[in-house]
Amino acid sequence: MAAGVFTGRRARRAALTASAGLGLGFILLPLLLVMWLAFFRQEIPSFPPQGYTLRWFAAVPANRSFASGFLLSVQVSVVATFIGVALAVPASLALVRGRLPLKPVMNTLLMLPLVVPGVVLGAAIYVGELETELATEWPVLGSVTGLIAAHTLIVIPWAVRLVTASLSTLNPVVEEAAKNLGATPWVTFRRVTLPAIRPGLVAGALFGFVTSFGNLEASLFLVGPGQTTLPIAILQYLAWKIDPTVAAVSLLQIVVIAVAMLITDRFVKLSQVV
Amino acid sequence: MTRAARKAGAAGLIAPATLVVALGLLLPLGLLFRYSLNRFVPGEFMVDALTVENYIRFFTDPFYTTVLWRTVRIAAIVTVICLVMGFPLAYVLARTQSRFKNLLLMAVVLPLFVGNAVRAAGWMVAFGSRGVLNASLMGLGVISTPIDIMFTETAVIIGITAVNLPFMVLSLQSVIEGIDRSVEEAAFNLGAPPRLMLWRVLLPLAMPGVLAGGILTFILGMNAYATPVLIGGPRFQTMGPLVYGQFIEQNNWPFGATVAFVLMAATLVLTSLSNILVHRRLHR
């Protein structure tokens, strides 16, 4: 009897672990298949592979749309992350420490770019930049500046979310002590607050960067003729065909993002972020 | 510092970011809605008007209502599959004492940041006529000719499910972590079989997570873009690609704006309805 209960329990545990593994496998399977394809010797993705090679990786930099897409993506995401974080840090300070009317409304507004669907976000920013261009004759639509502006909007909610989370764990008594000892607000911020919220800041910047780097829908509306970001280049290539070259590009992207996540994990535990 | 000065200081700190979002997104959303009331005249692009004829056209043309219905159906099916597949994984992640917990969590989170196009590519590798799935099934002798999965609704549902599953798992996991383990043990000690414990104890307590994860998954399913475009193929229409097609390819801004607002409104109405229904059942 006791042995029966015991095996029943073990069987249930095994079933639970197996179904959890099934879920995890389902999440990871497409990534693993793409990474596998990157090493195929033949160009057509037919199975089983006829052999393995690294030559597709060598071909990646020679592909103009991937190379220029990667450069544009890095450029746009880096600049947008800097601007977005620079806007988000003071806003987070005001949200957590300030006495403001309509705080929830402001918070909702700052989260808006995360809530609005990707295609609607793209269409709205397209219209906004179009009207700006019509009003000022400044050709912002289709320019890199216009793209950076849109990506700044994408970075802001992530940065605000992570910096406010970090700030709310910091006891305000510490900052008040600095002020009582004669520190100006700026010195208090530089010497006390900033070092304390550094993990949240780094995580916010990295999450903002990664989301901006991977953004497809909004960028699709805003790139100029002949311009592509890396996700757009991958989409357009895949709409045409799938082969080891695009798989190699994808693998490189996965590696970059995995490294960014590992760095983030050193600063803040992922479980507290997502 | 006086209270007034503090207030002014805080307002000054938050002003730049809020202004950027208000001018960069909120105002354009208003403009987009205004566009949806304009008229599209072929050859002349957009003509100023104040009409709801775009909305009437959307809801009277069977092509567009079919696209809306297909999108809602796919999002709903994906949400249910995500819930069933995500719960065990979320439970194990929440309860595990393993030192690899963070690594497991990263395995769930990482795919979120690897664009949807790349993940769709993975399924393209699997579903092709000589892809992994057909090759293995034929190798096992289950089928003799390759089955066409690529460019079907099933393939799109599988693709979007894999994309949305991490969101469901994370929403459930954070709630399950907050449920005291002793509650489960109490149910077992009182003689409840595992199934009863799950239905009567764990699931009701995890309901906020189920609701949050379900709503998030549904919204993302409604708005999917890369997955239906790549796995569904050029003839497979859902709302996301339809917005882009009308806006950029057809240059029909009024109708593109209309589709965008129908998509947002449908998502909002359906998620609020399910929210109300679940709350009513919980607080009966």
DSSP-assigned states of every residue in A94-120: HHHHS--TTHHHHHHHHHHHHHS-HHH
B89 neighbors B169 (Cβ within 8 angstroms): yes
Rounded to whole angstroms, the Cα distance separating B57 from B250 reads 16
pLDDT level of residue B5 (50, 70, 90 thresholds)? low
The ranges assigned to domains in chain B are: 53-114+153-282
List the single best residue of B33, B37, B96, B110 to mutate versus A (max A Cβ within 10 A). B110
A and B: number of Cβ contacts within 8 A: 284
Touching check for B56 and chain A: CB below 8 Å?
no
Query: Which residue among B14, B89, B131 sits closest to A94, beta carbon to beta carbon?
Result: B14
Distance of CA A221 to the CA centre of its chain: 19
Touching check for B198 and chain A: CB below 8 Å?
no
Q: Using the beta-carbon criterion (under 8 Å), do B13 and A153 form an inter-chain contact?
A: no
Min Cα distance B30 → chain A (Å) is: 8
Q: What crossing angle do the helices spanning A198-214 and A244-267 adopt, rounded to 10°?
A: 170
Q: In chain A, what residues touch B46 (CB-CB under 8 Å)?
A: none
Q: Using the beta-carbon criterion (under 8 Å), do A109 and B7 form an inter-chain contact?
A: no
Between CA B64 and CA B74, with CA B70 as vertex, the angle to 5 degrees is 150
Query: Which carries the bigger pLDDT value, residue A169 or residue B51?
Result: B51
Q: In chain A, what residues touch B93 (CB-CB under 8 Å)?
A: 20
The pLDDT of B139-165, averaged and rounded, is 90
DSSP class of residue A170 equals S
A123 neighbors B260 (Cβ within 8 angstroms): yes
Kindly identify which residue of chain B lies nearest to residue A255, measuring between CA atoms.
Answer: B114
Q: Using the beta-carbon criterion (under 8 Å), do B91 and A122 form an inter-chain contact?
A: no
Q: Using the beta-carbon criterion (under 8 Å), do A33 and B32 form an inter-chain contact?
A: no
pLDDT of residue A272: 59
pLDDT of residue B59: 97
The ranges assigned to domains in chain A are: 60-273
Query: Which residue among A110, A127, A253 sits closest to B17, beta carbon to beta carbon?
Result: A110
Q: How many CB atoms lie within 10 A of CB B158?
A: 22
pLDDT of residue B157: 97
Write down the pTM of the prediction.
0.89
Q: In chain A, what residues touch B120 (CB-CB under 8 Å)?
A: 30, 238
Query: Which carries the bigger pLDDT value, residue B244 or residue B279?
Result: B244
pLDDT of residue B23: 93
* % of chain B residues with pLDDT over 90: 48
Q: Taking 50 as the threshold, does the pLDDT of residue B248 lie above it?
A: yes
Q: Using the beta-carbon criterion (under 8 Å), do B118 and A270 form an inter-chain contact?
A: no
Q: Taking 70 as the threshold, does the pLDDT of residue B147 lie above it?
A: yes
Q: Taking 60 as the threshold, does the pLDDT of residue B11 lie above it?
A: yes
pLDDT of residue B265: 92
Flag residues of chain A having pLDDT under 70: 1-7, 268-274
Q: Taking 70 as the threshold, does the pLDDT of residue B169 lie above it?
A: yes
CATH (residue range B53-114+153-282): 1.10.3720.10
3-state secondary structure of A193: helix
Q: What is the full DSSP assignment across A120-159? A: HHHHHHHHHHHHHHHHH----TBSHHHHHHHHHHHHHHHH
ipTM, interface predicted TM-score of the complex: 0.87
Touching check for B136 and chain A: CB below 8 Å?
yes
Q: Using the beta-carbon criterion (under 8 Å), do B130 and A45 form an inter-chain contact?
A: yes
Tokens representing A143 are 């320019």
Q: What is the pLDDT of residues B269-278, one digit of tens each?
A: 988 888 888 7
Class of domain A60-273: mainly alpha
Q: Using the beta-carbon criterion (under 8 Å), do A20 and B88 form an inter-chain contact?
A: yes
Q: Using the beta-carbon criterion (under 8 Å), do B247 and A94 form an inter-chain contact?
A: no
Min Cα distance B283 → chain A (Å) is: 26
Kindly identify which residue of chain A lies nearest to residue B81, measuring between CA atoms.
Answer: A23
pLDDT of residue B225: 94
Instruction: Find, among A217, A178, A199, A149, the residue nearest to B245 by Cα.
Output: A217
Q: In chain A, what residues touch B102 (CB-CB under 8 Å)?
A: 265, 269-271
Instruction: Find, among A33, A30, A51, the residue nearest to A42 by Cα.
Output: A51
Touching check for B268 and chain A: CB below 8 Å?
no
Q: Comparing A42-46, A66-70, B33-37, B222-226, which segment has the lowest mean pLDDT?
A: A42-46
